[in-house]
């Protein structure tokens, strides 16, 4: 059987047999907000960012939701977070990559932490449905 070596450029990362860019176009943020704390997401070819931790002034999940809704802040919809769950878990399985809002690939310990957060949040939400 003949094969070939896949050469990856220095600006790429090899995941499985696919080379992805290590960085992509970042989102612009106002001063004082760290884009590394957000995960890049796409819906209908439009890029946006989701926080990589569901927190608001240190509140737990329920109080965060109540406070955010009460103050008119934006909350992610299911259609916003579903691709994030899919993409993070694909990256954890070595089948793709996810980027932070700075445009950098999230990998290694950062990916593991993001996976723990995403999957814990999904279990938490599923547990809230009536049985």
Tens digits of per-residue pLDDT, 89-101?
Answer: 999 999 999 999 9
CA distance linking residue 107 with residue 98, whole number of Å: 8
Q: Per-residue pLDDT tens for 50-74?
A: 777 666 666 666 777 778 788 887 7
**Strand ranges (E), 17-95:** 18-21, 38-43, 46-51
pLDDT of the residue at 81: 77
What are the backbone dihedrals phi and psi of residue 98, each rounded to the nearest 5 degrees, phi first?
-125, 150
Closest CA to 39 of 31, 21, 47: 47
> What's the predicted TM-score (pTM) here?
0.76
Closest CA to 84 of 72, 94, 67, 96: 96
For residues 122 and 13, which has the higher predicted lDDT (pLDDT)? 13
């Amino acid at each position: 059987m003949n094969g070939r070596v896949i050469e990856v450029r220095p600006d790429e990362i090899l995941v499985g047999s696919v080379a992805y860019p290590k960085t992509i176009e970042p989102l612009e943020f106002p001063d004082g907000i760290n884009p590394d704390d957000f995960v890049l997401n796409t819906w209908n070819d439009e890029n946006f960012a989701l926080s990589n931790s569901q927190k608001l002034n240190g509140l737990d999940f329920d109080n965060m939701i109540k406070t955010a809704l009460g103050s008119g802040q934006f909350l992610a919809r299911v259609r916003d977070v579903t691709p994030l769950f899919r993409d993070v878990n694909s990256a954890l399985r070595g089948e793709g990559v996810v980027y932070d809002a700075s445009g950098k690939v999230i990998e290694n310990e950062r990916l593991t932490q993001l996976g723990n957060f995403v999957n814990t949040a999904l279990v938490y939400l599923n547990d809230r449905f009536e049985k």
